[in-house]
Each structure stands twice: as structure tokens, then as C-alpha cells.
Structure 1
Amino acid sequence: MHLLNKRNRWYPYKFCSVPLRLTLDLLQTALPVFLAACPSARPPHMLDILLKGGLNLSHFVAADVAICVTTGRPLLCRYHVPWSLDLCNEFMEKVENQGSQWLFGIPDQFILLIGYIDGLVKNATAAGITVDSGLLAQIEDDVRRIQVSPCESNDPSLVARMAVQQCWREAVIVYLMALGGAHALDPRVGPRRDS
């Protein structure tokens, strides 16, 4: 855990200021430490980590998800990820702890959903099938209905934070469309990409 603490102290700066290859190497190096620090459940339970796993574990998960979405690579490890809109309410109840939202701008609800989507992709690939289009439509509807804890502040940068949250919502929808086989020039992707 000491190694994870040390890594997380400098990680926010490195995440934004070093080449992507070094960030990927840092995450890959930290993976065994993360797995050893997780409670005994295998695969690690993403919901439990985000809600009560502590700062270090939740930041690792958030960084893994952020890199997954921005690079298109799968998550570093397989997580157990349940999904329902009701689970999102649990994040709304922990208003005093903004989770990974303050560091990466990604609300924990979207981190959980991306983890769930990644699991769907891995399961479908392993079975040689595609993900059910009805399930994809339901998830897309869920993305629109997810409520994110508002940042309570008089700080003028609040507008920028809210814009970042909305950008992550759009990124999740585009990520989901890619799962459904949509490409960058697909008419459904264009408006999301350009917004």
C-alpha cells in the first residue's frame, strides 16, 4: 500500500505532463500493487472500490478507465461491475467525497458504467458474439438519465467543471456507439463528437 500511496502522490502531475507511453507503463507497473491492495475478492469489485476503497484504489480505477476511453485499449484488469441506475444513487449520497471527479473530471457513475461496458465487450468477444442491441439502447438511455452530484461552489470555474462532466457523458455515449460497431463517420457519432 505504501507503494500505491507514493505512486498516487505524483500521479496527477504525471498523468497530464508526461508522454502517454510513460503513463501506460506507470499504470502497468502499479497493477500488481493495486491487485494486492484490493480486498480478497477476485476480480476486484469496482463499485466497492469506488464507494469505500479509499483514495488510492479509486484513483487507480479512475486512471485505468480514463486511459481506456481516451486510447481505446481495454482496462488493465477485469473488474466485477454491476450496473443499474439505482447504483448511481449511492454515489449521489456520498456528496462529501467527490471521488475521482475532482482529479480527472470523471464522475464515478461514468467510471462504473465504462467498467460495465468493458466487461460486456470482453464477454461478447470471448463468446464470439455481439452485445445485444437492446442492451446497448438501454445503456444509452441510462447514460442520459445518470444524475451527477453538482459541485457546490461560488467559484466561476464551476461552469468549466460542469462542461467537463457533460463532455464525459458524451464520451461514454460515443464509446458505447463504438461497441455497437459505429465508426467515426457514423451519422450518430458526428453530433456527439462535435458537441
Structure 2
Amino acid sequence: MIEASQLNDDVDESEGLEEIQAAAIGFLSLDRTTESNGLPFILQAYATWLSHFTFEPLRIINLARNDTLRSYVSGEECRQIMNMMAENVHEVTRSAAYNPVQSSSFSTTQAMLQRRLIEARTRIGTPGKPSHDSIRPLLTSPSKWISLMSKVGSLSSLLDFMQLVAPVFRRACPDPLERLVNLPALFATLDVTLQYYSTADVLLSVLTGRPMFFRYDVYFTPTVPESCFFLVDAPGARWAYGVPDRLVMTFAQMNALFEDFGPHVPTQVVDELEQEINSMKPIIAPSTEPIVVVGRMVVQECWFLAALIYLYMGLSGDNSTDIRVANVRTRFMKLLASVRPRRNPDSFLVLPMTILGVAVNDWDERDMIRRRMLGVSECTRPGRMGNDLVRILDNVWSKRHPIVWSDLRQAYWEVAGV
């Protein structure tokens, strides 16, 4: 059983909670008995969430603070939603045993967000359609809710909510509706809500084998060159999951190829993607904590190796015993063994470890992956996406033949119904 305190055990060794809260709250008073101090407590809740559940909280805190301030002054209904979401965050971060089914705040918040999204979907489907600038603010709270659901909700409930958000997201993007959303251009903006949704869309497609909600244009332009995504302070959503933004674009391309060709992508294309992935390097922001630097490097390296497993098994049809897969698996397991089990970085390794699991044949290695995943509180509790992923790997490993990529897709359907 994971104790509630374990949710907090690594915060002091990542970006300090006090530092993050200071950046979010600033000079604002924290006297909750004063009605006018609702804003500081919302900021405190979001700062606590970022410190627990994001890869680079200090990198995003100022944008999150400004976004919160804009939303807070935009209307009473927005403030009501923000207060309810803050209450949910306080409940989640106080105890690893939090259960959304038993939380009236969770169900009330979700119902209000769903109603607003349905209203927005109606607006964008009527004559005189609103501009993307007027639609974009409607995604602020849903994007935060997607983040929360990825930690406390099931995979199927997360995908259902993202499906509801999808047409609103597309209308909020600046690209003309007859064209694909350009991912580099989207990542080059300061719009965190659009970046977060598109990143989640791409990564969930990699994990589940389901088509993305949208296909994306991944071509660079003179105004948004590839080089800008190799910078430490590069735009994008690396702060959230720890996936380098340049790799997210490659994943989007791979997802589209997999949808078109399955495991029979032309060899030349596979070779080009292999070269592209192998050329990528971790992008590490400075930190005063060496353990943070090492953890962030390991997370990004593991994502590069997960991309190669997806390339070989998903797009090329290799099975778990093929030599290319075996070589990557060996590198991945050594990298995983190089850092001791802790919530940070293990909570950011759950997704790439799920991909690694498809390539593992040895039961000792499988047990190591399973134990690392179950060391993360979200993976221990039934009804959460993390626990879904553990059970999905158990299903994959129950197959007696060498594992193929389609076993993972079948497991998602059998275990999670997605």
C-alpha cells in the first residue's frame, strides 16, 4: 500500500515546492478567511500540482500564473470553475488514496466543464462561427482537467473527455480548418493549453495504437526552424511529460504512418526515422540538484529508446526477439537500472516503460518494470490510468509467443476497453 506521504517524498529534491509557490503567489496574502484571497489559494493549488506532477515546474510557472490571472478576471463562472478545480487539486495532493468517485467536487467540476464544452461545440457549428481567439480561453480549464484526469482517472474516461474537447481544440488553433494543424508552429506559441492537448493526443496514440484525434503537419518553416526546438528554453510542452518536443513531432509523423501502413512502412522511411531519432539529444535545464539533472536526462533518453521500439515493432513489424529490438531493450534496461526507484523520475517513466514492456521477454526484467511502475502511487490504485497500464502489460505478457505490437493494441481493448 502506498502511503499518502509518498506522494510528497521527492518534491524537495526536484524543484522546491516553496520556490514554485513563491513564483506563483508572489506578494499575495494567504489568509483563506478573507473572501478576496480566493486567488492566492487557486495559485497555491496550481503551484502544488505543478511541483508534484510536471517534469519542469519552474519552467512553466510564470506562464501558468499569468494564465490563471487572466482567467480569474474573465467572469464569475470561470472563477467558480477555478475554485472547484483548486479544491480537487488540494484533495489529490493531500492523499495518494484520493478517489474521484467519492469526491463531490470532482463530479461537479466535470459536469460543469462538460456543459461548457457542449455549448462551445454548438457555437462553433453555427453560422457566423466565432474566431479562434474567442474560443481559445474555453480550453484553459479543460486542459488542466485533462492533466488531472491523467493522474486520477481511467484511460477510457480520459480519452472520452479528450474526444469531447477535440472540436473545440481544433477551432481554437490558428490554422485554417481545411489544413492540418502545424505542430512546430503550435509549439512555438506561448499557448500552453493548445500545446498540452496536442502533446497528449500524440502520446496517447503512441501508447494505445488508436488514431490521433487529429493529424498534424510536422514540417518546419523559416519562421519556426527545427533548431529552435534544441534550445534549453525551447517552446513546447517538454515541461509536462519530459518528452523532448522535437520527438513529439516525430511521434506524430510515426502515428500517421502507422495508421496508413501498419507494420509495413517503407524501409527507406524507417531508416530516415531511425537516423532522426538517433540524432536527438536530451535537453536539460539547469538545476542546483544533481539528482534532478540525472533524472531528467534518463527520462528523455528512455523516451528516445521507446521511440526506437515503436519504430521497429510498430512500423517495421519486428517482434520482441528480433535483434534490433533486443539491442534497444538492453540499453533501456541498463538506463533504468542506473537510477534508483523514486517517484521522481519514475512517475515520468511510466509511459516509456509501458512501451519497453512490449519488448521484454525475460520474467526478471518484466518484474523489474512492474515493480518500478507500482512504486508510483497512480499505478497502484484501480480505476486510474497508471493502473490500467500495469494491467495492460500483464495482459501482453500472458501471451506465449514472441510479443508483436498488435498484442499491445489487443490488450488495451481487453483491459481498458479502448
TM-score class, shorter: 0.7 to 0.9
SS of the equivalent of 1:152 reads coil
Letter in 2 for 1:171: A
SS of the equivalent of 2:317 reads coil
Closer/same/farther in 2, CA of residues 19 and 12 from structure 1, 3 Å limit:
same
* Residues in 1 aligned to 2:144 and 2:243: alpha-carbon distance in whole angstroms: 19
SS of the equivalent of 1:181 reads coil
Q: Does 1:157 align with 2:295?
A: no
Closer/same/farther in 2, CA of residues 118 and 55 from structure 1, 3 Å limit:
same
> What is the CA RMSD across the aligned residues, in angstroms?
2.4
CA drift of 1:153 comes to 1.0
Q: Does 1:102 align with 2:239?
A: yes
Tell me the equivalent position of 1:134.
268
Deviation per CA, 1:136-167, whole angstroms, max 9, x where unpaired? 11210111112342221122222111111011
Tell me the equivalent position of 1:180.
316
CA drift of 1:114 comes to 0.7
Asked whether the equivalents of residues 182 and 216 of structure 2 are also in contact (C-alpha less than 8 Å), the reply is: yes
Tell me the equivalent position of 1:14.
149
CA drift of 1:60 comes to 0.7
Tell me the equivalent position of 1:40.
175
* Residues in 1 aligned to 2:325 and 2:151: alpha-carbon distance in whole angstroms: 27
* Residues in 2 aligned to 1:181 and 1:117: alpha-carbon distance in whole angstroms: 14
Q: Does 1:91 align with 2:226?
A: no
* Residues in 2 aligned to 1:54 and 1:185: alpha-carbon distance in whole angstroms: 43
Structure-to-structure mapping, 1:117-128, within 5 angstroms = 117-124=254-261
When structure 1 is superposed on structure 2, of 165-174 and 52-61 the one drifting more is 52-61
Closer/same/farther in 2, CA of residues 184 and 27 from structure 1, 3 Å limit:
farther
**Structure 2, unaligned stretches of length 5 or more?**
1-135, 333-418
Deviation per CA, 1:18-60, whole angstroms, max 9, x where unpaired? 1111111121111111101011332111111112261111111
Q: Does 1:3 align with 2:138?
A: yes
CA drift of 1:15 comes to 1.1
For normalisation by structure 2, the TM-score amounts to 0.42
Closer/same/farther in 2, CA of residues 35 and 101 from structure 1, 3 Å limit:
same
Deviation per CA, 1:49-72, whole angstroms, max 9, x where unpaired? 112261111111111112112222
When structure 1 is superposed on structure 2, of 175-184 and 57-66 the one drifting more is 175-184
SS of the equivalent of 1:118 reads helix
When structure 1 is superposed on structure 2, of 75-84 and 180-189 the one drifting more is 75-84
Tell me the equivalent position of 2:28.
none
Closer/same/farther in 2, CA of residues 89 and 148 from structure 1, 3 Å limit:
farther
* Residues in 2 aligned to 1:150 and 1:47: alpha-carbon distance in whole angstroms: 20
When structure 1 is superposed on structure 2, of 96-105 and 40-49 the one drifting more is 96-105
SS of the equivalent of 2:185 reads helix
* Residues in 2 aligned to 1:119 and 1:8: alpha-carbon distance in whole angstroms: 24
Q: Does 1:146 align with 2:280?
A: yes
* Residues in 2 aligned to 1:29 and 1:81: alpha-carbon distance in whole angstroms: 24
Matched residues, number: 190
Letter in 2 for 1:185: T
CA drift of 1:91 comes to 0.7
Q: Does 1:62 align with 2:199?
A: yes
Tell me the equivalent position of 2:327.
191
Higher relative contact order (CA 8 A, sep 6+): 1
Tell me the equivalent position of 1:26.
161
**Structure 1, unaligned stretches of length 5 or more?**
none
Letter in 2 for 1:188: R
Q: Out of 65, 68, 73, which is 2:210 matched to?
A: 73
Q: Does 1:111 align with 2:280?
A: no
Closer/same/farther in 2, CA of residues 53 and 73 from structure 1, 3 Å limit:
farther
When structure 1 is superposed on structure 2, of 54-63 and 113-122 the one drifting more is 113-122
Closer/same/farther in 2, CA of residues 158 and 17 from structure 1, 3 Å limit:
farther
Asked whether the equivalents of residues 81 and 119 of structure 1 are also in contact (C-alpha less than 8 Å), the reply is: no
* Residues in 2 aligned to 1:112 and 1:24: alpha-carbon distance in whole angstroms: 20
* Residues in 1 aligned to 2:296 and 2:235: alpha-carbon distance in whole angstroms: 12
